[in-house]
Amino acid sequence: MSRTLPPRSKSRRNFLKLAGAGALMLPAGLAMPRISRAASRPLVTHGLQSGDIGANHGVIWARGDRPSRAIFEVATTEGFRDARALPYVDVLPESDFAAKLLVENLPAGQDIFYRVTFSDLTDVNAVSEPMSGRFRTAPADLRDISFTWSGDTAGQGWGIDTDRGGMKAYATMLNHRPDFFIHCGDTIYADGPLKAEVDLPDGTKWKNVMIDEKAKVAETLAEFRGQYKYNLMDRNVRAFNAQVPMLAQWDDHEVTNNWSDAKVLDDRYTEKNIRLLAARAARAFHEFMPIAPVAGEQGRVYRKISYGPHLDMFFIDMRRYRGRNGDNLETAPGANTVFLGRDQLEWLKRGLLASKATWKVISADMPLGLLVWDNGTDKKGFEGIANNEPGAPKGRELEFAELLSFMKVAKIRNTVWLTADVHYTAAHYYDPSKAAFQDFNPFWEFVSGPIHAGTFGPNDLDMTFGPDVKYVKAPDSGQVNLPPSAGLQFFGHVKIAGDTGVMTVTLRDVADAALWSVDLTPEQA
């Protein structure tokens, strides 16, 4: 894929005009000082992040170490010759010193360079060293697109082992220089305390970097924030984030395993109010993820992100609106069949119907046709959509039967589902000829993860929607919670050709081996 920058376009000329105007906005002495007279300078503590990029906007994030003023600049040149100052963000303990800013009026299809300094609010001369990152805005024309996806970071007791290279799959993904990364959820494991050392079957030890917040389940807001700060301690994650925007959604472990509003917390928790726990978790998620706010609903995760004429992405939230986990066998819609919820379901229908993009990617935090038990040991109740009855849709399957039927009637073509959650990688083709429910057009679902967590699987199938396994890689039978050092860490890589619109999906492992690949030709309207 060509990485040459476009010629100076009208949009870039406009950016340069804004840059000239913006340079006058920065307070004197704070632009980018090279020398500070202060004995103690603020620090940029956890690297940089960007996310939720579009054709003319993107979110940038950084965190300081004290009450300070975050001063951001953006440019279209790596040397910041055309730097534009942005409105400053004051960071205080109330936000744990995290600064997040939606940058607008950017040129399309352009590498954007950004940098931040923190100025101590109590000492104008105390200014941090600058830190720089980059992202690429979405193209306005038909260009090649490259992105990766995965899920599940620092789970099942496997944290940062610096002797083993840390979270190495992030470094592997960075080698592909993707335009962005989709994190399909379990961005942290708030319910997964770490031990300093774990004995491995080969006689060696896994040695976790430890902080206080990772020694117990997260309950307080500070403890939830600590989960995110822990992951950002990894050098591979920081290097990746500085170069690749993250489009993030959440699943259960951002709060606790298999949570809903009906979750009963176990004896590890002194805080027994799941709704209060979820509220604290949601606040930390939105503080530490480079996710843009959605007007009209505080804390909303489901949203649409467009990346050029070839690609619209719909990020759905399978967690916040769901009913309680249970037998999942209701034959009519009701409180316990809710998974997306009516508002989100109708939003998704409208968005898919209105989309003019070649491909409509639905980024889900759980797969459709795999059995995910609420109590995996005893195989009781269901955490996922499927209910182990390969017949007519029941329970949570009712919402998805409605969605799939709508897509067929509305002639919505070229939909692809991407997900993680189950801690292995697979390619599923949902075929109505093999399904109990047949009122839908066939589609692909690709599963890839974990990016750095224990490896499990594979899960059993439910044939209500007819999933056909085209490829799977998981641990051998009887093996569970394999460490990252076993090499079964996975991500997916998607390329969309600008000229033909062909989507190539490749499943890869931490060593960057191409395990399986398929070319998908877009169906014409």
Q: Is the pLDDT of residue 204 over 80?
A: yes
State the average pLDDT over residues 215-234.
Answer: 98
User: Measured at the alpha carbon of residue 400, what is the angle toward residues 353 and 245, in degrees to the nearest 5?
Assistant: 65
Under the banding of pLDDT at 50, 70 and 90, the label for residue 39 is low
H/E stretch holding 172 = helix 168-174
- Residue with tokens 């202060």, as numbered in its chain: 38
Domain boundaries of the chain, sorted by first residue: 10-136, 145-520
The SS3 call for residue 116 is strand
Rounded to a whole number of angstroms, the CA Rg of the chain reads 23
The SS3 call for residue 468 is strand
Does domain 10-136 fall under CATH 2.60.40.380? My reply is: yes
The SS3 call for residue 337 is helix
Q: Are 48 and 131 in contact, with CB atoms under 8 Å apart?
A: yes
- Residue pLDDT, tens place only, 346-401: 999 999 999 999 999 999 999 999 999 998 778 889 999 999 999 999 999 999 99
Q: Are 144 and 498 in contact, with CB atoms under 8 Å apart?
A: yes
Q: CA-to-CA distance for 21 and 28, rounded, in angstroms? A: 15
The SS3 call for residue 276 is helix
Q: CA-to-CA distance for 396 and 153, rounded, in angstroms? A: 27
Length of the chain: 525
Q: Which of 53, 52, 95, 51 is nearest to 70 (CA)?
A: 95
Q: CA-to-CA distance for 220 and 173, rounded, in angstroms? A: 33
Residue 5: the pLDDT is 31
Q: CA-to-CA distance for 114 and 75, rounded, in angstroms? A: 6
Q: Which of 308, 228, 209, 224 is nearest to 271 (CA)?
A: 224
Residue 11: the pLDDT is 55
Beta-strand pair 359-363/373-375: unpaired
- Residue pLDDT, tens place only, 287-332: 999 999 887 788 899 999 999 999 999 999 999 999 999 999 999 9
Q: Are 168 and 161 in contact, with CB atoms under 8 Å apart?
A: no
Residue 376: the pLDDT is 79
Beta-strand pair 145-150/180-183: parallel
The SS3 call for residue 361 is strand
Q: CA-to-CA distance for 443 and 428, rounded, in angstroms? A: 9
Show the 3-state SS of 391-453. CCCCCCHHHHHHHHHHHHHCCCCCEEEEECCCCCEEEEEECHHHCCCCCCCCEEEEECCCCEC
Q: CA-to-CA distance for 251 and 263, rounded, in angstroms? A: 14
Residue 188: the pLDDT is 98
Q: Which of 61, 32, 29, 24 is nearest to 45 (CA)?
A: 61
Does domain 145-520 fall under CATH 3.40.640.10? My reply is: no
State the average pLDDT over residues 469-498.
Answer: 97
- How far CA 401 is from CA of 67, 214, 336, 364, in Å, comes to 51, 40, 16, 16
Q: How far is CA 233 from the centre of its chain?
A: 18
State the average pLDDT over residues 235-260.
Answer: 98
